[in-house]
Amino acid sequence: MAVKTVLIVYAHQSAGSFNAAVKDAAVDVLKKQGCTVLVSDLYEIKFKATATEEDITGAVKNPEHFCYGEETMLAWQEGRLASDIVEEHKKLKEADLVIFQFPMYWFSVPAIMKGWMDRVLTLGFAYTSEKRYSAGIFREKKAMLSFTTGSHETMFSSNGINGDMNVTLWPVQNGVLNYCGFQVLAPQVFWAPTHLSAEARDSLLKGWRTRLQGLLSEAPLSFPTIDSFDKVKGFQLKSEVHDKQADSPFGLTVGHHLEKPLPPHSQMKAGV
149/192 same-domain check: yes
Whether 165 contacts 246, CB under 8 Å: no
Which amino acid is residue 17, in one-letter code?
Answer: S
pLDDT for position 29: 97
Give the rounded distance of the alpha carbon of 219 from its chain centre: 16
79/18 same-domain check: yes
> For the chain, how many structural domains are there in total?
2
The rounded distance, in Å, linking the Cα atoms of 144 and 63 is 37
32/94 same-domain check: yes
pLDDT for position 57: 94
Q: Which residues of the chain have pLDDT under 50?
A: none
209/233 same-domain check: no
64/15 same-domain check: yes
Range of the domain at 243: 222-272
pLDDT for position 1: 52
125/252 same-domain check: no
131/163 same-domain check: yes
DSSP string, 50-111: ---GGGB-S--S-TTS--HHHHHHHHHHHT-B-HHHHHHHHHHHH-SEEEEEEE-BTTB--H
44/173 same-domain check: yes
226/263 same-domain check: yes
Whether 13 contacts 43, CB under 8 Å: yes
pLDDT for position 30: 97
Whether 256 contacts 225, CB under 8 Å: no
CATH number for the domain spanning 152: value is 3.40.50.360
61/97 same-domain check: yes
113/183 same-domain check: yes
Each residue's pLDDT tens digit, 99-152: 999 999 999 999 999 999 999 999 999 999 999 999 999 999 999 999 999 999
pLDDT for position 272: 61
Cβ neighbourhood burial of 157 (10 Å; 0-12, 13-18, 19+): middle
pTM score over 0.85: yes
Of the candidates 206, 143, 210, the residue with the CA atom closest to the CA atom of residue 174: 143
